[in-house]
Structure formats: structure tokens, C-alpha cells
Amino acid sequence: MKLVLAIVQHQDAANLVDALTEQGYRVTRLSSQGGFLREGNLTLMLSVEDHQVNLVIKTVREHCSTRTRYVSPMPPIAESGEFYPPAPLEVQVGGATVFVLKAETAKL
């Protein structure tokens, strides 16, 4: 058994969960937040057989898009009378960040 953790963007989550459940996978959605942008994202948790991992990753890849976000860095400490507003920083977010871990499942 493997535990697949997929961190995805909100915009992609609904279609991805629909696709995974239609294929018969059991999915748990966890609300999460990225440490860098501090924006909400979703972590999907699936416990699957080893041979299903590649199919799950394929489905995640098909439903998760890369998007561009802009971050405003903190302004540098200004010297006397000088102010240089920092340029927004462009970052690419997504499609998805996926971790695959060995797992044992016990339903109690």
C-alpha cells in the first residue's frame, strides 16, 4: 500500500476529486496553506495499492494547471530619505506537489 499526498490549488481541486472518485479511489481533502505564499491550498490524501500510484499521478497531472502568481517582497531598509519600492516577484505555482509514502491501512 502507498499513501499519496497531493498538494493542489483550490481551482483544480473539485474536478480532480470528481475524477478520482469516478475512478473508484477514496479521497480525503485536507485544507492546507503554503508556507511561502501563505495562501490556502488543498492536500488530497489517498491510500492506494502500489500498482495504482502511477494512475493516480496521471490523473493529478491531467487536472492540475500551472499558474503565475506575483508576490510583493518586503521593502529593504531605506537609507535616509531613499525609498526603492521592490518589484513584484513572479512565481510559478502548481500543477501539483505529490509525495508517495509507504503505508499500512487499518480501518477500525
> Residue numbers of the site for ligand 2BA (CB under 6 A)?
7, 34-37, 39, 41, 91-94, 97
Nearer to ligand 2BA, 2 or 94 (CB): 94
DSSP the chain: -EEEEEEE-HHHHHHHHHHHHHTT---EEEEEE-TTT--EEEEEEEEE-GGGHHHHHHHHHHH---EEEEE-PPPPPPPTT---PPPPEEEEE-SEEEEEEE------
Q: Least Å distance between CB 46 and ligand 2BA?
A: 17
Q: Least Å distance between CB 10 and ligand 2BA?
A: 12
Nearer to ligand 2BA, 56 or 64 (CB): 64
Nearest residue to ligand 2BA, by Cβ distance, number only: 34
Nearer to ligand 2BA, 36 or 83 (CB): 36
Q: Least Å distance between CB 80 and ligand 2BA?
A: 31
